[in-house]
Structure 1
Amino acid sequence: YLMGGTTQSGVEISPKYVGHRRIIETAVATLATDRALLLLGVPGTAKSWVSEHLAAAISGDSTRVIQCTAGTDENQIRYGWNYAQLLAKGPSKEALVPTPLYRAMEAGSLCRLEELTRMGSDVQDTLITILSEKMLPIPEINDTLYAQRGFNIIATANNRDKGVNELSSALKRRFNVVVLPLPDSMNDEISIVARRVTEMGAGLDLAVPRNVESEIEKVVTIFRELRGGETLDGKTVLKTPTGNLSTAEAIAVMIGGLSQSSWFSNGEINADALSSNIIGAIVKDPVQDKAVLEEYLETVLKKREAFAEYYHTMNEVL
């Protein structure tokens, strides 16, 4: 389902994830045991995408999800209370408001925790008993919820962002960590971007022009060079911007350009439609990132005939 292929009956299944098969095999094998799964990686490495599709494939439901933030408290993880019922009848099952995690334990299905490290460390540690004992004490009504067979947790976290909280050693031990890397090769990244642009374009009723792959190659080239800090041939060292310039951002740039060319141009995607989107993805810091991009334009793109249009239009926008 995730990696694609052909079934015994000849049905062709499109891949949902393009990357190392062993990574997905490890993730599935982890969920087949009683250990929780933590998908770790920089932003834009398809952590949420893989998490969602794993939950859909295994449990048939990917909607039991908790978005973790700095404001997430224990009540949003364990259970809450209907205060009208609580005041009228006191603590009772009827007054209890189940969270997605609570419902997953009842149903024996997977629960997704997005951006686990955004939560405070004290809130994170409420998961320890749930993961180790597969039970949730409810002391207010002198009861305990025992997880049904099949319950597990898929969490995602990124290791390169600001405002994250380190997991405690006790909680780390209860997760099997699988690191999702950025695409190894340029061809893989182009393939991922092209597939998602085609799928999303169809969903948005945007016509995908025939020259889209050549423009994707140029956008991916710019992103990979700035992200890696050197040109593809390794001859020129470059300064890197503050952003991640991930595959997901390359997809967003292409969709933005596709929409702009569909509504405000003749439908053919080109540097004019893409330049402002590329700059928006690269220049997160108006001083530092702008200087990085200007230097890249002058030292690299200016010398490439195939990128001449990008050089001129991006300079105009800057």
Structure 2
Amino acid sequence: MVNYRSLGSSGLKISEITYGNWLTHGSQVEKDAALACVHAALDAGITSFDTADVYANTRAEKVLGKALKGQRRQSLEIFTKVYWPTGPQGPNDSGLSRKHILESIDGSLERLRTDYVDLYQAHRYDHSTPLEETMQAFADVVRSGKALYIGVSEWTADQIRAGHALAKDLGFQLISNQPQYSALYRVIEGEVVPASAELGVSQIVWSPIAQGVLTGKYLPGQPLPEGSRATDEKGGAKMIARFLDKPEVLQRVQDLRPVADELGLSLAQLAVAWVLQNENVAAAIIGASRPEQVTENVKASGVEIPSELLNRIDEILGDSVISDPAETAKSSPKSR
């Protein structure tokens, strides 16, 4: 079963393995399989579920809402996000303006079949809207009872500091950041994690297995597996290419197998357990196309990796690791 951690300096507890439906529900995975994956997550003790209005252009929220129907709402933590366009992409259909935030939260709640979300997250930083306007809108969402807490996603350390200060002045809590993080992609370690730890902000990390690369299924010099994410132009092939284009990365992932074997883990379980060794990480988001993937990945919960094995992982991956803090700033569009 899954362990639980506090989210930031708040009193909210979330499951350290969180189920997310980016790239799956409403797009890659048929509805019945998606429902089965959510039920497998519930059976494994996962209580935290992450989605976003933009995933499959709102369909992912609808599928999650249906999957969680009949569950005791107070026993769940439901997260969603706002920023990217979900309508006809008009001038106000994206970003973090007051208009877009207040309209988007109502749409998300309707699709998720709930009166509130536990965590409402800014999916990116909006350079086109004054931060004061954004945070005031989030304050009003919290005061209206439509969200209990506010988080962000892929914000830089300076952006998190500024947002946290405004949130405090406005009387609500900014408690989390949702960045990409894995043993191969560590750009948050240099600046974002130290700033967040100082402020009482946790990381809820996505892609802990590096879009599937850290499962070891992509072999150096071999054709890409049929039906894998790397072959799906609509399902993340572009993102995973940064690792697949480097055969030495794939070989180093294979070289991790003895470490996983020593811990009695699969490579995927090792990858999820690795991100959870970071004390500033509250949860690792896992996705799934089959229920058994959920059942397997939750076995990473509660695993402690000895320091000597963490050092060995660092030695094996070496200069294949992406760690430049500047990568975070690149994820937010300069205009919308």
> TM range, normalised to the smaller chain?
0.3 to 0.5
More helix by share: 1
- TM-score, length of structure 2 as denominator length: 0.32
Higher relative contact order structure (alpha carbons within 8 Å, sequence separation ≥ 6)? 2
